[in-house]
Amino acid sequence: MANQYDVVVIGSGPAGYHAAIRCAQLGFNTACIEKWLTKDDKTVYGGTCLNVGCIPSKALLDSSHKFLEAQAHFADHGIKTGKVSVDVPTMLKRKEKVVSQLTGGVAGLFKGNKVEGIAGTGKVVAKGKVEVTGHDGKTDTLEARHIIIAAGSVPIDIPPAPVDNETIVDSTGALEFTEVPKKLGIIGAGVIGLELGSVWARLGAEVTVLEALDDFLPAVDRQIAKEAMKIFTKQGLTIKLGSKVSGSKVSKGNKKSVTVEYTDSEGEQKAQFDKLIVCVGRKPATENVVDASVGVELDERGFIKVDDHCATNVEGIYAAGDAVRGPMLAHKGMEEGVMVAERLADKKTQVNYDLVPSVIYTHPEVAWVGKNEEELKEAGIDYNVGSFPFAVNGRALAANDTDGMIKLIADAKTDRILGCHIIGPSAADLLQQVVIAMEFSSSAEDLALTMFSHPALSEAVHESALALHGHAIHIANRKRRK
């Protein structure tokens, strides 16, 4: 007889484990299926984010930043360290420890909330039925009133540079280098490419980023993207825009390298690297997750079609996270998972898709939310802009961390905040202050009239709001208007 549940969740990444835990909290008998295995064949929860995505990459970003600080900037503070070296294997062990703590934490949360974790691969075979194939090949069938698909995403492969997991790797393989490559090539100047490039450049690699598009960070406000390009180039990243990769060839022998062929504005080019990272984006991992006979609709790119509340076209089946439309961001999936759980309990929870924050965890960080100037101009909306540089922020100066700026945009008629764009120290955390303000429909004046502690990086948020109306205290006011 099939095992029966109120809710079965497929996938335990951010969308899946949030959905499962919240369902259990709301009184639903809940199971969560996870196929991920460690190198020693143990089931772990957390999906891509905790195992090979957000968390391990941030661990390496933090470690590499500390190395760079010790190597190049401690002396500015009067701290003498002598020659500083890097131990990559130890750095990787620390990364694995962080991952283990967090994935083990999800397992503990499942236990504490009475979510049943099931090891194996889940597939929806009928309305209300999920087939689980264990790692031993045996199958079982689960019955559920509600099914939530949170299958996540996988890296996109490109024919000109097939991943061999040795010389040519994807974002997962780039977290496992046991030594610093002398010359590192990266295909794709997006979030993942810039973050991974930053890690290995700080540790001493000569990094070249090949980007097919002519624009750098096209989703980012142009002024912020231009500033980011300048800073990253200064940090040692060689970013080649308009460079379309056409082929690659891995050399033979013990010491392998890869020659990449690409075309830019000057014609056909070649470049040789010790390692090549392919990070041109991700695609939904929805293949074989739902049997075609069930009738769940997918779009041409493999995303499961859902409405604003993550319901599919089949009653009782929902999908959230990277498997559905919208930005592939862990926090977006988390909120969707919780929303689905609460709507199953007849709560009217919604996700505000207009306020999904985006962050690139380089140093300085790049973060943004809402509309940028280019979008507002195209829409014909009149707006005001206030900006403030970290170069004159007391806390940033004290920390010797002054690159970047904050840019706040508000409606010219209503003064309602329409967007915020930051490049600078702790940009992700500073942006969140504005996200909260925007969630409550705050005006720029609301922020300007709010008291901020001193000295703090967040004072730059305050000053950008003041600058929007020409009232900034610590810079000459140059009110900008469309």
d(CA 344, CA 417): 33
Q: What pLDDT, on a 0 to 100 scale, did the predictor assign at position 254? A: 81
The CATH number of domain 168-280 is 3.40.50.2000: no
Q: Where does 3-155+283-354 sit in CATH, by number?
A: 3.50.50.60
pLDDT tens digits, one per residue of 110-145: 999 999 999 999 999 999 999 999 999 999 999 999
**Do the Cβ atoms of 333 and 22 come closer than 8 Å?**
no
**Residues marked as catalytic:** 454
Helices (H) and strands (E) in the chain, counts: 12, 23
Mind giving me the DSSP string for 90-145? HHHHHHHHHHHHHHHHHHHHHHHHT-EEEESEEEEEETTEEEEE-TTS-EEEEEEE
Instruction: Give pLDDT, residue 430.
Output: 98
CA dihedral 6, 10, 16, 17 (to 10 degrees): 70
pLDDT at 255: 85
**What does the alpha-carbon distance between residue 16 and residue 333 come to, in Å, rounded to a whole number?**
8
Listed by start position, the domains of the chain span 3-155+283-354, 168-280, 364-481
Inter-CA distances, 137 with 142, 161, 375, Å: 16, 33, 51
pLDDT of 2 reads 62
Instruction: Name the strand (E) or helix (H) holding 463.
Output: helix 459-468
For the structural domain made of 364-481, what CATH number should be given?
3.30.390.30
Amino acid occupying residue 385: V
Structure tokens at 419: 């967007």
Cα dihedral angle (167, 165, 99, 34), rounded to 10 degrees?
170
Q: Do residues 59 and 95 touch, judged by C-beta distance below 8 A?
A: yes
The pLDDT value recorded for residue 478 is 73
Same fold, 168-280 and 364-481: no
Tokens of 172: 């997962």
7 forms beta bridges with 30, 146
Q: Which pLDDT belongs to residue 253?
A: 81
Cβ-proximal residues to 88 (8 Å cutoff; 6+ apart), any chain: 177, 178, 179, 180, 203
Residues of the chain predicted below pLDDT 50: 1, 481-482
